Amino acid sequence: MVFENEKEIHTDFKKRMTYGDYLSLDSILASQNRLSDHHDEMLFIVIHQVSELWMKLALHEVNAAIKAIQQEAYQPSFKMLARVSSIQRQIIQAWDVLATMTPSEYMEFRDYLGQASGFQSYQYRMLEFALGYKTKHVLKIYEKDPELHKTLQKAYEAPGLYDVSIKALEKEGFEIDQEVLTRDVRNSYEVNESVQRAWEEVYRDTERYWNLYQLAEKLVDIEDAFQQWRFRHMKTVERIIGHKKGTGGSSGVGYLKQVLDHYFFPELWSLRTTL
């Protein structure tokens, strides 16, 4: 046997940390608590828990990238942002697994969810905040938990990834309107002509502005993947519940279709037409 030939493999863990100990697997694997006895509720729980774990890592990387860009440490920020794009691909593929559940199967346990909904995912909101989409009214959802509400409020008031990227343009010598540089970052970003001109110049002279050019393309990668994630979410919901209201009270597919038209980094998309 191969195992028997591996004489140095450790087997005595009475006083040592195991793989399961390190990953807290007992806690993680005991967290799939079905409220019904329907087989497919396990699928529903696991998919959403896995997505939340990926979002935790995405937030870890995005927030670190924001700090790196502020310090002009561009190369490390590119690695972090590229990792976010890879994470997003994993989350997008998760919808394919959830889509194996049929409307009939979901209806067997949907009522057990009450008003609980993915709309309430606080990590998703924090990702939106970090990418510059600020919606103050959603903070009310989290007032039940003062510590969590405080964490979200802090994220809401912090500059987003695009804010620090625009500041990077200004540091490079581009003339950016003061109203953009000093804007209230608690508000969602709006298109600005000076930012558009700056990014256009970056794309016209990529060798001179190579770091900014790479940064811009990393942002486009993230937004592209985010839109794909939103689209797969919308189509999966439509496939399973049609145009019913969401459990959290949203219009469901209607709401998800609306957000498909939102851009985090608008000038990076419009310049493709204007160049």
* pLDDT 10s digits, 171-197: 999 999 999 999 999 999 999 999 999
Which domains are assigned to the chain? Answer: 38-119+161-274 (1.20.58.480)
pLDDT for residue 1: 55
What is the pLDDT, as a whole number, of residue 2? Answer: 58
Q: Hey, what are 3's tokens?
A: 């195992």
233 assigned ligand-binding residue: yes
* Structural tokens at position 107: 């209806």
Task: Name which of 64, 59, 117 is nearest 88 in CA terms.
Answer: 59
Q: Which residue intervals of 144-252 are DSSP H helices?
A: 146-157, 161-171, 178-181, 193-204, 210-241
What's the alpha-carbon Rg for the chain, to the nearest Å?
Answer: 22
| CA angle, 118 then 123 then 128, to 5° | 95
List the beta strands (DSSP E) in 62-169. Answer: none
CB-based burial label for 255 (10 Å; 0-12, 13-18, 19+): middle
Is 197 marked within a binding site? no
Give the pLDDT score at 49: 97
- Alpha carbons 245 and 227: distance in angstroms, whole number: 22
The pLDDT value recorded for residue 4 is 64
**Contact predicate 126/152, CB 8 Å:** yes
- Please check if 149 is assigned to a binding site: no
Distances (CA, A) of 87 to 22, 58, 68, 121, 146: 22, 7, 19, 17, 29
Burial bucket for residue 143 (CB in 10 Å: 0-12, 13-18, 19+) = exposed
Residue 247 labelled as part of a binding site: yes
In sequence order, the 6+-apart residues with CB closer than 8 A to the CB of 56 are 123
On whether 45 is known to bind a ligand per the annotation, the reply is: yes
pTM of the model: 0.91
> Is 46 annotated as ligand-binding?
yes
DSSP state of 140: G
- The segments of the chain whose pLDDT lies below 50 read none
The token pair that represents 273 in the structure block: 């037409």
Return the pLDDT at 245. 78
Tokens of 112: 């057990």
Q: Is 243 annotated as a binding residue?
A: no
What single letter denotes the amino acid at residue 241?
A: I
Cα–Cα distance between 108 and 41 in angstroms, integer?
Answer: 9
